[in-house]
Amino acid sequence: MASLFDQKLQSLKGVGAKRAQLFEKLGVDSVGALLRYYPRAYEDWSHPFEIDAAPFDCPVCIRAAVISKVTETRIRKGMTLYRCQASDGSSVMRLTFFNNRYIPNLIKQNGEYLFYGKVGGTFTKREMTSPSFTTSAESSGFHPVYGQTEGLSSRQIEAAVRQALSLLPERVNDPLPEELRASYQLEELGQAIRDIHLPQSEPALNAARRRLIFEELFVLQLGLCQLKTRNRRETSCFLTADRSQEFFSCLPFPPTGAQRRAVAECVADMRRKTPMNRLIQGDVGSGKTAVAAALCYCAAREGIQSAFMAPTEILAEQHYHTMEKLFEGTGVSVALLTGSTKQRERRELLFALKAGQIHLLIGTHALLSDPVEFQRLGLVITDEQHRFGVAQRAALAGKGENPHLLVMSATPIPRTLALMIYGDLDVSVLDELPPGRQKIDTFWIDSKKRGRAYGFLQKHLNQGLQGYIVCPLVENESGEASLASAVEYAESLKAREFRDYRVGLLHGRMKPAEKEAVMRAFSRGELDLLVSTTVIEVGVDVPNAVIMLIENAERFGLSQLHQLRGRVGRGKEKSYCILVSDAQNEEAVYRLKAMCRTNDGFQIADEDLKLRGPGDFFGARQHGLPELKIADMLGDMDILSQAQQAAKILLKKDPALSFPEHRGIKGEIRRLFSQAGETAFN
């Protein structure tokens, strides 16, 4: 098998240098790769319709006899039609082919054929144009449809695949050990490969798919687990005690059960010499900051420094203020370092950091830059992870003495999926909101009702509460009149509807100091209303703000809307989110309705994943996972968890995959990850 798999494509009949090149475009460079080039779809030739009963405009198979001679009509130069009538006994349909001079030879009067194509015409005069066909004795199964490229059609690929399949020995070496196949009822590789290309029935196809999907996810999971345990140097910054109780007693609120659990999991990690690698997932408002603070506290108590990175300056600043407050009177010293820290202050700060006088340094990516030297960096925390690349995570980890790593994400995704996407991380979930939180009532209105929404907003401002108005762009660059321009919009609100209120403006192009001033004023209650672009998207925390009005809400993705909405409903007051949009577009309507329906971040993320798919959801290839051939991590969630379970069991038995029966699987891991540029396995 190994030899066949490595065999050059050109060893197949009909594949010369030129065609081999075309195959290479599809990523197929060997017979093995061809056998693993699975069909994109299938034509179902196994359930022929009667002509009368065939649905219009979707591909179907029809078994019929040709009841007329093929006629040839030249309608203009270079355009000849070949036509005939076919009947299945119940009724008749017309077949039309263009410019195919072989048709009269291929289709004979009185012959019976299977035709595959879309039925068109009218109810009484059905027709098919350019259907595929075979003699009806020949085939009755599923026909594979391959992803093609110019110059290489699905049929040509099929022909090459058929040849490769004929070379496949009866029994092939299966990377999945027999025992495992038995316990998960997976068929053997050779069978699966035959059936995925040329299935004889739907059950056969399903069994093949399941087996191959399982294998792919299993290999992926094993690879990720191995990455996780690879070269994990020990850290000297392990904790010797759990002092989180001490910290909890300083908090102005009792921690939730979920917060306690997450802290306990992290502390347990940090007491080991192998550095922690953990993701904390929690919906907006679930209190991730306090969890991070508890860990920084424990570290600081043992003379271990922490770094906390946020994706934007505004967030870094805000975390800084939050942390300062949390650590008041505890002896933990907190500092902020961003791009706008003044030279002198910066020098002093860096000096103090190196001397170990600063326990917790908060900042943006600037923390990654060279002159930042810690005395004993043992804990690195990054907030809102999906904006940080894997590389940045690694760079930061390189800073200290192999520090513990904690990643915090407000994008709640199903646990099984998180295990894949953040494959190198352990996961803790904050699945409980602090008590007293109320559902944020969410409404979708069209722009005609905006005036009433303003009134509703004012009513709340009059009670001393605060609100946000969010709009998508700073300037009206696109020239679309419907697009609210934050600057103009804020001015006009100030001058008109909200002239009796204190209105602030926040947008991404303001200087950091200006932003900071506005944010501070808003969080101190010196502003009633904040008009903002999405810079407030993540993390900003003003519990007195209870209403958010989002303009052009259709312009935001579902998860983004949810993040935005998470800026309200953070205190005891009832909170509202008003989505203003005149959207008609089906997908936009779906998003807006989903927002009104649920407050649950997991559900929202689920819907968003369904709409966009995991690739888009996490940014193009940002998660750095190898590309999968057949598995769809969302659609195949149940197989995914089985594969994860199986991987866990296998690694327990043979952590290094050194048993001879695991040699095959090791090879597959290497193959899969070499595409992702991961050299660890080579």
Per CB under 6 A, residues contacting ligand ADP are: 253, 255-256, 259, 282, 284-290, 410, 434, 541, 543, 570
By a kind-dependent CB cut-off of 5 to 8 A, residue 562 interacts, out of Mg ion, ligand ADP, none, with none
Looking at beta carbons, which residue is closest to ligand ADP?
287
> Measured in whole angstroms, how far is the alpha carbon of residue 534 from the centre of its chain?
21
CA distance to 91, 305, 353, per residue, from 373 (Å): 83, 11, 7
Query: Is the Cβ of residue 384 or residue 554 nearer to ligand ADP in the bound state?
Result: 384
By a kind-dependent CB cut-off of 5 to 8 A, residue 400 interacts, out of Mg ion, ligand ADP, none, with none
By a kind-dependent CB cut-off of 5 to 8 A, residue 48 interacts, out of Mg ion, ligand ADP, none, with none
* Rounded CA separation 311/382 (Å): 8
By a kind-dependent CB cut-off of 5 to 8 A, residue 253 interacts, out of Mg ion, ligand ADP, none, with ligand ADP
* Structure-block tokens of residue 395: 């760079």
Query: Is the Cβ of residue 537 or residue 554 nearer to ligand ADP in the bound state?
Result: 537
Query: Is the Cβ of residue 383 or residue 551 nearer to ligand ADP in the bound state?
Result: 383
Q: Are 566 and 470 in contact (CB under 8 A)?
A: no
* Sheet of 404-409, strands arranged across: 334-337, 360-363, 305-309, 377-383, 404-409, 277-282, 426-430
* DSSP secondary structure of 13-68: TT--HHHHHHHHHTT--SHHHHHT---SEEEE-SSPBPTTTPPBTSEEEEEEEE-S
Query: Is the Cβ of residue 48 or residue 539 nearer to Mg ion in the bound state?
Result: 539
The contacts of residue 130 (CB under 8 Å, 6+ apart) are 96, 97, 98, 100, 117
Query: Is the Cβ of residue 136 or residue 318 nearer to ligand ADP in the bound state?
Result: 318
Q: Could you tell me the smallest distance in angstroms from the CB atom of residue 432 to ligand ADP?
A: 9
By a kind-dependent CB cut-off of 5 to 8 A, residue 647 interacts, out of ligand ADP, Mg ion, none, with none
Q: Could you tell me the smallest distance in angstroms from the CB atom of residue 576 to ligand ADP?
A: 18
Query: Is the Cβ of residue 224 or residue 263 nearer to ligand ADP in the bound state?
Result: 263
Q: Could you tell me the smallest distance in angstroms from the CB atom of residue 233 to ligand ADP?
A: 31
Q: Could you tell me the smallest distance in angstroms from the CB atom of residue 519 to ligand ADP?
A: 14
Query: Is the Cβ of residue 16 or residue 254 nearer to ligand ADP in the bound state?
Result: 254
Q: Could you tell me the smallest distance in angstroms from the CB atom of residue 466 to Mg ion?
A: 19
* Rounded CA separation 382/389 (Å): 11
Q: β-pairing, 79-87 with 92-98?
A: antiparallel
The DSSP secondary-structure symbol of 465 reads -
Q: Is 175 in the site for Mg ion (CB under 5 A)?
A: no
By a kind-dependent CB cut-off of 5 to 8 A, residue 404 interacts, out of Mg ion, ligand ADP, none, with none
The contacts of residue 373 (CB under 8 Å, 6+ apart) are 350, 353, 354
Q: Are 305 and 360 in contact (CB under 8 A)?
A: yes
Report which residue type is found at 570. Answer: R
Query: Is the Cβ of residue 259 or residue 581 nearer to ligand ADP in the bound state?
Result: 259
Q: Are 383 and 315 in contact (CB under 8 A)?
A: yes
* Rounded CA separation 306/377 (Å): 6
Q: Could you tell me the smallest distance in angstroms from the CB atom of residue 288 to Mg ion?
A: 5
Q: β-pairing, 377-383 with 404-409?
A: parallel
Q: β-pairing, 426-430 with 441-445?
A: unpaired
Q: Could you tell me the smallest distance in angstroms from the CB atom of residue 43 to Mg ion?
A: 50
From 21, 29, 27, 23, select the one nearest 5 (Cα to Cα). 29
By a kind-dependent CB cut-off of 5 to 8 A, residue 256 interacts, out of ligand ADP, Mg ion, none, with ligand ADP
The DSSP secondary-structure symbol of 379 reads E
- In degrees, rounded to 5, the angle at the alpha carbon of residue 553 between the alpha carbons of residues 550 and 556 is 115
* Rounded CA separation 336/153 (Å): 60
Residue count at the site for Mg ion (CB under 5 A)?
A: 1
Q: Could you tell me the smallest distance in angstroms from the CB atom of residue 240 to ligand ADP?
A: 27
Query: Is the Cβ of residue 263 or residue 471 nearer to ligand ADP in the bound state?
Result: 263
From 508, 536, 511, select the one nearest 523 (Cα to Cα). 536
From 139, 147, 128, 68, select the one nearest 104 (Cα to Cα). 68
* Rounded CA separation 209/66 (Å): 36
Q: Are 469 and 599 in contact (CB under 8 A)?
A: no
Q: Could you tell me the smallest distance in angstroms from the CB atom of residue 480 to ligand ADP?
A: 32
Query: Is the Cβ of residue 415 or residue 610 nearer to ligand ADP in the bound state?
Result: 415
Q: Could you tell me the smallest distance in angstroms from the CB atom of residue 302 to ligand ADP?
A: 24
Considering only residues 534 to 593 of the shown chain, the ones binding Mg ion according to CB under 5 A are 539
Q: Could you tell me the smallest distance in angstroms from the CB atom of residue 360 to Mg ion?
A: 16
* Structure-block tokens of residue 307: 């770094």
* Structure-block tokens of residue 216: 């792919």
By a kind-dependent CB cut-off of 5 to 8 A, residue 570 interacts, out of Mg ion, ligand ADP, none, with ligand ADP
By a kind-dependent CB cut-off of 5 to 8 A, residue 56 interacts, out of Mg ion, ligand ADP, none, with none
Query: Is the Cβ of residue 43 or residue 283 nearer to Mg ion in the bound state?
Result: 283
Q: Could you tell me the smallest distance in angstroms from the CB atom of residue 243 to ligand ADP?
A: 18
* Rounded CA separation 333/635 (Å): 48
Q: Could you tell me the smallest distance in angstroms from the CB atom of residue 560 to ligand ADP?
A: 15
By a kind-dependent CB cut-off of 5 to 8 A, residue 286 interacts, out of Mg ion, ligand ADP, none, with ligand ADP
Q: Could you tell me the smallest distance in angstroms from the CB atom of residue 405 to ligand ADP?
A: 18
By a kind-dependent CB cut-off of 5 to 8 A, residue 543 interacts, out of Mg ion, ligand ADP, none, with ligand ADP
Query: Is the Cβ of residue 252 or residue 464 nearer to ligand ADP in the bound state?
Result: 252
* Structure-block tokens of residue 422: 């953040």
Query: Is the Cβ of residue 12 or residue 540 nearer to ligand ADP in the bound state?
Result: 540
Q: Is 311 in the site for Mg ion (CB under 5 A)?
A: no
By a kind-dependent CB cut-off of 5 to 8 A, residue 434 interacts, out of ligand ADP, Mg ion, none, with ligand ADP
Considering only residues 500 to 539 of the shown chain, the ones binding Mg ion according to CB under 5 A are 539
Look at residue 322 and give its three-state secondary structure: helix
By a kind-dependent CB cut-off of 5 to 8 A, residue 530 interacts, out of Mg ion, ligand ADP, none, with none
* Structure-block tokens of residue 147: 């992803």
Looking at beta carbons, which residue is closest to Mg ion?
539
Q: How many residues appear in the chain? A: 682
* Rounded CA separation 117/61 (Å): 7
By a kind-dependent CB cut-off of 5 to 8 A, residue 442 interacts, out of ligand ADP, Mg ion, none, with none
Query: Is the Cβ of residue 227 or residue 251 nearer to ligand ADP in the bound state?
Result: 251
Residues that bind Mg ion (CB under 5 A): 539
